[in-house]
Amino acid sequence: MSKITKNEGDTARYQEADRRHHMHPFTDYKQLGQKGSRVITRADGVYLWDSDGHRLLDGMAGLWCVNVGYGREELAKAAYDQMLQLPYYNTFFQTSTPPATDLAQLLAEVTPAHLNRVFFTNSGSEANDTVLRMVRRYWDLQGKPQKKTIISRINAYHGSTVAGASLGGMDPMHRQGDLPIPGIVHIEQPYWYANGGELSPDEYGVVAARRLEEKINELGVGQVAAFIAEPIQGAGGVIIPPETYWPEIKRICSDYDILLVVDEVICGFGRTGKWFGSDYYGLQPDLMPIAKGLSSGYLPIGGVMVSDRVAQTLIDEGGEFFHGFTYSGHPAACAVAAANIRILQNEKLVERVQQETGPYLQQRWRELADHPLVGETRGLGFLAALELVKDKHKRLFFDERGKVGTLCRDFCFNNGLVMRAVRDTMIISPPLIMTREQIDELMVLALKCLDLTAKELGIA
C-alpha cells in the first residue's frame, strides 16, 4: 500500500507549473488558471489524497475505470516484472508477445461466447476509431461498399479523436472542429426522465428504439452499416434505457442486417454487476470496444472485441488490414490487464457487485429520492445518478442547465467526495471493491452536499 506523502504541501508549485505548461483535457483554461488545479498525489483502496493532505472518497473510480481500487501491488508487480523481461515489442508484421497473446485468450474467455478475437488499442477513443474502419471494411468485403453510415445517439460518448467525437453525440464537441465527419448520424437517446413525457418508461423505450428504424428507412437500408451505443450511456448522464429498449433495438439490427456495436468502455468489467453490459441486456455485439476497467486504469489499454462473423470475413477475404498503433498489445499494459482480470475473477468482485454491494448501493441511493432537489434516482450495479431539478413534481429542469450540478459537485469536492456532474445530473461509478460501510459513508457525504446545495439555492 502506497503511503508516499512527499508531494503534499507543494500545491502552489504544482498549480503554477500546471498553469504555465499543462493544457488539460476538457478544461476551460482561463478558469483553471485563475482557480488552480486540484493536485492528487496518492490513493489507496477507494480513497484519494490531494497535495494539501485532504482525503476524498472516490465515487467515480477515477474516470469510471479503477474497478479493482487503488494500491494493488499485484498490478504494480506485473508491470515491473514485464518491463524487465520485455518492456516493449510490437505486434505488427506477424510478431507477437506472451502478454498480448495471453490477454487475448483471457478476453475471449470472459467476454460473450461469440467474441473470440481482440484488436488492441491504447484507449477507448482508438477502439472506436478502429470500429469505424472495421465496420466499413467489413461491408466492403461483403460487396456492399455503399453501406457506410453509422447511426449513433445524441449525448453518446465514444471518445475524443475525430472518429470517436463524431460517433459521440455531444453537441459542444461537434461545434469545435466541424464534426461529425460525413457518414455518422445521431438519433434520440432513451432518456425517459427528460424525453418520455406522459408515456410510461416501457412505452417510451419502444418509441426511442424505433427512432433507429425510422432513421434507417429515412437513409435507405442499403446505406446503413452499423448502430453504435453504450449499454447504459455513461458520460451522457447514466441513462438507463427502459427494459423494452434493447430487445427492440436487437430486432431492428437483425431485421435490417446492420452491425451492432456495443461500446463497453464504461459498462465492461463488472460495472453493471455482470461482466459486460451485453451480458446484462442479452446483446450479441458484432463489435465491442473495451478500455477503462480492462486494466482498472493502471496502464492505458483498450481494444475491440471482434465477433466470429466479422472476424471470419476479415480473415478470409480481407488481406492486410492497414490499421494499428505502435503500442497495440503493449506488453506491460497487457500484463497489467491480465492481472487485473485475475483479481476480478479471484475476488469475485463482479458477483459481489451483482449480489451484495450493488443492491445495497441501489437501495441506499433510492433514499435520496425524498430530497427536495432530487427529481429522479436511478442506477444499476455500481452506476447511479440523481436528477437535480427545479420542480420535482412537475419534472421541471433548472432554467440554466448545469449550474446547480456544478455547485453540488464543488460542495462534494470540498467535503471529501468525488461525485461527477453531467448538466444537473449527479453521478457515481465507484470502485467495485467499495464496502457497505464505505457506501454508508458515501451516502452521508452525498446527502450533506445535497443539503448544502439546497441551502445555497434557498430551497428547504
Q: Report residue 40 as a C-alpha cell.
A: 492528487
CA–CA distance, 193 with 147 (Å, rounded to integer): 34
CB of 157 to ligand PXG, least distance (A): 5
Question: Which of 63, 108, 141, 206 touches ligand PXG by CB under 6 A?
Answer: 63
Does residue 231 touch ligand PXG according to CB under 6 A? no
Q: With respect to ligand PXG, which residue has the nearer C-beta, 128 or 152? A: 128
Measure the CA–CA gap between 179 and 423, rounded to whole angstroms: 22
Q: Indicate whether 179 belongs to the interface with ligand PXG (CB under 6 A).
A: no
Q: Does 234 bind ligand PXG (CB under 6 A)?
A: yes
Is 129 one of the binding residues for ligand PXG (CB under 6 A)? no
Specify the 3-state DSSP secondary structure of 138.
helix
Decide: is 263 part of the binding site for ligand PXG (CB under 6 A).
Answer: yes
Q: Should residue 303 be labelled a site residue for ligand PXG when binding is judged by CB under 6 A?
A: no
Nearer to ligand PXG, 132 or 454 (CB): 132
| Distance between CA atoms of residues 51 and 164, nearest Å | 33
Residues 378-417 contacting ligand PXG, CB under 6 A: none
Candidate list 72, 137, 153, 158; residue touching ligand PXG; CB under 6 A = 158
At closest approach, how far in Å is the CB of 418 from ligand PXG? 12
State the nearest-atom distance from the C-beta of 389 to ligand PXG, in Å.
Answer: 21
Cell of 318: 480481407
Q: Does 123 bind ligand PXG (CB under 6 A)?
A: yes
Residue among 242 and 302 whose Cβ is closer to ligand PXG: 302
On the question of a cis peptide bond just before residue 190, with omega within 30 degrees of 0, the verdict is no
Alpha helices in 347-402 (DSSP H): 349-352, 358-366
User: According to CB under 6 A, which one of 45, 69, 159, 381 is a site residue for ligand PXG?
Assistant: 159
The answer to whether residues 152 and 186 touch, using CB atoms and an 8 Å cutoff, is yes
Residue 150 vs 454, nearer CB to ligand PXG? 150
**How, if at all, do strands 374-380 and 383-388 pair?**
antiparallel
Does 265 bind ligand PXG (CB under 6 A)? Our answer is yes
Q: Is 15 or 128 the residue whose CB approaches ligand PXG more closely? A: 128
Amino acid identity, position 23: M
Of the residues 59, 124, 190, 381, which one makes contact with ligand PXG according to CB under 6 A: 124
Helix (H) / strand (E) element for 245: namely helix 245-255
Which CB atom, from 58 or from 230, has the smaller least distance to ligand PXG? 230
Report the candidate in 423, 414, 434 with the shortest Cα–Cα distance to residue 349: 434
Query: CA-CA distance, 397 to 406, in Å (whole number)?
Result: 14
β-bridge partners, 167: none
Cβ count within 10 A of residue 195? 15
Residues near ligand PXG, by CB under 6 A = 63, 123-125, 128, 157-159, 230, 234-235, 263, 265-266, 291, 302
